[in-house]
Amino acid sequence: MRAAVIRRGVMTTALSLLAASLLAASPAWAQERPDPDAAPYMEAMTWTEIRDAIAGGRKIAIIPTGGTEQNGPHMVMGKHNYIVTFAAGLLAQRLGNALVAPTLQYVPEGDYTRPGFGDKPGVISLLQPAYEQVLDAAVRSLKVHGFTDIILIGDSGGNQRGMVNVAKALNAEWGGGGVRVHALTDYYEQGRLLIRDYLNKTYGWSEQVVGSHAGTSDTSQLLYVHAQGIRMDKLAVNGGSPDAGVQGDPTKASAAIGKIAIDFKVNAAVKQFRGGQP
């Protein structure tokens, strides 16, 4: 029993120290906020600038996938797009030799013909086969232009399977050809576990309080990235009603928590890309 308490204490201390270092912007994390109207975002560059960047060694391309979904009365539909676009810019900064492709905003959101998550006005769901076909086409295009490593990251749970499927299929097809596709699922899977664990150990907030959709973590991330996307007067536990489309307590959100959450996600992606090395 005593050993278990000690282990929990060590983990709590480690998470607190990591979070403190992120907030303090230590040299390893001292990055400027990415400018969506400038490099490394490809859609903000000319084709000759992209050509020259590739020739100069920027041979990693990042394809972010977001989503267009309901996030309760307090948060805009493009939550995932704002967050993953920002995070992809940070990831490019961390890697040092990457460019960011336009964010895919239409992803699997569920069956829009049935009542539930996907039937809220404004939700756009790209069903799985079409989603994978779009990813496949984007990756093939980037390969032709000279990128040797193509990274897929997704800000939503429904994005992950298609990323993995496309990466596996293309890596099998191109085996030994010098181009590799990386589905960095740790960005989402490990990132969300780390922030939930941090919030529980730091504030005592349970997973139910933090929530799994449009709750504390999601709202905090958008507050940090795109604060104007939050309707502060609409914040309410579970969105204020059973059908609001919110799980958790967005009233506990803060931009400081959002920065920690995004840094957890980007760090997990870097570590996975580098084969476990941070």
Going by pLDDT thresholds of 50, 70 and 90, the confidence category of residue 138 is very high
The more confident residue out of 112 and 224 is 224
Which two structure tokens, joined as six digits, stand for 136?
């496949």
Token couple for 16: 């607190």
pLDDT of residue 256: 97
Question: Mean pLDDT of all residues in the chain?
Answer: 89
Task: Identify which has the larger pLDDT, 111 or 174.
Answer: 174
pLDDT of 230 over the 70 cut: yes
pLDDT value at 113 more than 50: yes
Average pLDDT value for residue range 257-269: 98
pLDDT bin (cut points 50, 70, 90) of residue 260 is very high
Length of the chain: 278
125-134 mean pLDDT: 94
**How far apart, in whole angstroms, are the C-alpha atoms of residue 139 and residue 261?**
28
pLDDT at 5: 40
Domains of the chain, by residue range, sit at 31-273
Segment 241-256, tens digit of pLDDT: 988 989 999 999 999 9
Q: Span 120-129, mean pLDDT?
A: 91
- Which residue, among 157, 120, 154, has the nearest Cα to 245 in the 3D structure? 120
Model pLDDT, residue 176: 80
DSSP state letters, 163-198: HHHHHHHHHHHTTTSS-EEEE-THHHHHHHHHHHHH
Q: Is the pLDDT of residue 132 over 80?
A: yes
Residue range 137-158: average pLDDT? 97
- Whether residue 45 has pLDDT greater than 70: yes
> In which band, very low, low, confident or very high, does the pLDDT at 120 lie, cut at 50, 70 and 90?
confident
**Cα–Cα distance measured from residue 138 to residue 242, given in angstroms and rounded to the nearest whole number:** 39
Task: With cut-offs at 50, 70 and 90, classify the pLDDT of residue 264.
Answer: very high
pTM for this predicted structure:
0.88
Which fold is adopted by the domain 31-273? Rossmann fold (3.40.50)
pLDDT in tens, 8-39: 444 444 444 444 444 444 333 345 899 999 99
Q: What is the mean pLDDT of residues 52-72?
A: 97
The predicted structure's pLDDT at residue 278 = 63
Beta strands in 94-179 (DSSP E): 98-100, 149-154
